[in-house]
């Protein structure tokens, strides 16, 4: 039996562009001898699986992407759709399965993307789901457990390696952004109930919001300048920000996991 349960299949073309862009920079993707990626829980349409394939192929033209779904009807539909494409697509496979990531024996994916999947589970189910997926990952691989809005303007994800969670990223469309607190309602399941006073992720979002407000005068130079100043201010005040200005200019901020991890299981 696949691990997990069928949930809503809501998806949308191009809504995972922010996290895909980040995944394409993962160092292990370039280093592994044979590149396999898994899109776990692709939903009612396989469009985002094919987009992931196109984006990763730019870095690893030989990448093979496995779209895994726990709803057999969605698997059959994706397989049928794929079979109708000409010329035939040979670098994507759709298969039935769950958090056990049933790629053929011997394949250790360097990327596992589980986006908008765990958000429909209970917080207590997250550790076991992470452990199951991490057990299949290449030693140089990354798993992202993320959440985004309908059209991908607000996106957040936890990045994990086989050693466990490493970072939290927020990626926001900066034009017309009022406050980065908008990310609070799209946090991954492991954090969404922890955005309360006393929890580190609450302090992080509050610090980011405060820095964003303090940087308002820079709006005259554009939202990117304002965001970069806000992120720089967090880094200067001691938040362990990962990644440099080239990431910030995309509306991203990545912070080390130990700075935002939940204090304890509820």
Distance of CA 22 to the CA centre of its chain: 8
DSSP 198-265: TSHHHHHHHHHHHHHHHTGGGGGG-HHHHHHHHHHHHHHTT--EES-HHHHTTTEEEEEGGGTS-SS-
Q: CB of 149: closest distance to ligand SAM in angstroms?
A: 10
List alpha helices for 60-199, DSSP H. Answer: 72-83, 126-134, 189-192
Question: First-to-last CA distance in the chain?
Answer: 29
Closer to ligand SAM by CB, 11 or 53: give it: 11
Closer to ligand SAM by CB, 22 or 42: give it: 42
Q: CB of 43: closest distance to ligand SAM in angstroms?
A: 3
Q: CB of 51: closest distance to ligand SAM in angstroms?
A: 10
Q: CB of 191: closest distance to ligand SAM in angstroms?
A: 17
Q: CB of 262: closest distance to ligand SAM in angstroms?
A: 22
Closer to ligand SAM by CB, 70 or 92: give it: 70
Closer to ligand SAM by CB, 15 or 186: give it: 15
Peptide bond into 213 cis (omega under 30): no
Closer to ligand SAM by CB, 59 or 121: give it: 121
Closer to ligand SAM by CB, 7 or 233: give it: 7
Give the nearest residue (CB) to ligand SAM. Answer: 4
Q: CB of 227: closest distance to ligand SAM in angstroms?
A: 24
- Residue 75 in contact with residue 96, Cβ under 8 Å? yes
Q: Which residues bind ligand SAM (CB under 6 A)?
A: 3-4, 6-11, 15-16, 40-43, 48, 68-71, 74, 98-99, 115-117
Q: DSSP secondary-structure letter at 84?
A: T
CA distance to 7, 77, 121, 230, per residue, from 73 (Å): 12, 6, 20, 46
């Amino acid at each position: 039996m696949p691990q997990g349960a069928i949930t809503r299949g809501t998806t949308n073309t191009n809504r995972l562009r922010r996290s895909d862009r980040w995944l394409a920079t993962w160092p292990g993707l370039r280093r592994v001898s044979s590149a396999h990626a898994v899109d776990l829980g692709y939903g009612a349409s396989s469009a985002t699986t094919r987009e992931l394939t196109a984006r990763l192929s730019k870095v690893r033209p030989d990448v093979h992407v496995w779209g895994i779904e726990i709803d057999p009807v969605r698997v059959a539909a994706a397989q049928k759709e794929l079979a109708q494409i000409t010329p035939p697509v040979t670098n994507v496979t759709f298969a039935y399965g769950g958090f056990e990531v049933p790629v053929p024996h011997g394949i250790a994916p360097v990327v596992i993307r589980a986006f908008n999947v765990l958000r429909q589970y209970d917080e207590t189910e997250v550790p076991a789901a992470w452990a199951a997926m991490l057990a299949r990952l290449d030693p140089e691989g990354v798993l992202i457990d993320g959440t985004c809005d309908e059209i991908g303007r607000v996106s957040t994800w936890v990045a994990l390696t086989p050693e466990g969670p490493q970072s939290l990223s927020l990626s926001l469309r900066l034009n017309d952004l009022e406050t980065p607190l908008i990310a609070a309602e799209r946090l991954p399941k492991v954090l969404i109930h922890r955005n309360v006073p006393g929890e580190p992720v609450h302090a992080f979002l509050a610090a980011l919001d405060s820095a964003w407000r303090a940087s308002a005068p820079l709006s005259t130079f554009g939202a990117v300048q304002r965001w970069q100043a806000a992120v720089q201010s967090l880094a200067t005040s001691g938040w362990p920000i990962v990644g440099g200005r080239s990431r910030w200019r995309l509306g991203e901020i990545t912070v080390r996991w130990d700075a935002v991890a939940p204090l304890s299981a509820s």
